[in-house]
Amino acid sequence: MKIALASDHGGFELKEDIKKNLLSKGYEILDLGTTNGTDSVDYPNYGRICGEAVMAGIAEKGIVFCGTGIGVSIAANKVKGVRCALCTSVFMAEMASCHNDANVLALGGRTTELETALEIVKTWLNTEFEGGRHQKRVDLLNQMR
């Protein structure tokens, strides 16, 4: 599976740690930046580019990072068809996948410890969408602009 990653400066270090972990597990990674380390950049650009990569089929899923995950999740969700979920717990990651079929995950580099983030990513990637009654709701989300 190919996963697109993108972060601003606040999420850069967590993105790099998650990238290392995913590569070690055999995932293919498309790193969309930032490459500026912790030098200030604008999170909307990174949320958008990751969402566009997922919707274009360049990557199957995406993970976006900023200081809290809030701004970059808002940016990603501006891309039609993206269902980006900001998750701060393993339970939220499970629900994002099984109920919402989230195709992009958002994490906060300043708010989420690495071990928690690793468990969130693992759960999000390994939980399948249930469909059924949730499919109608996902379809409604996909119709929104």
Q: How far apart are CA 23 and CA 44, in angstroms?
A: 26
Q: Which residues are catalytic?
A: 66, 99
Q: d(Cα 13, Cα 78) in Å, to the nearest integer?
A: 25
Tell me how far apart the alpha carbons of residues 10 and 144 are, in angstroms, rounded to a whole number.
29
Residue 17 CB neighbour total at 10 angstroms: 14
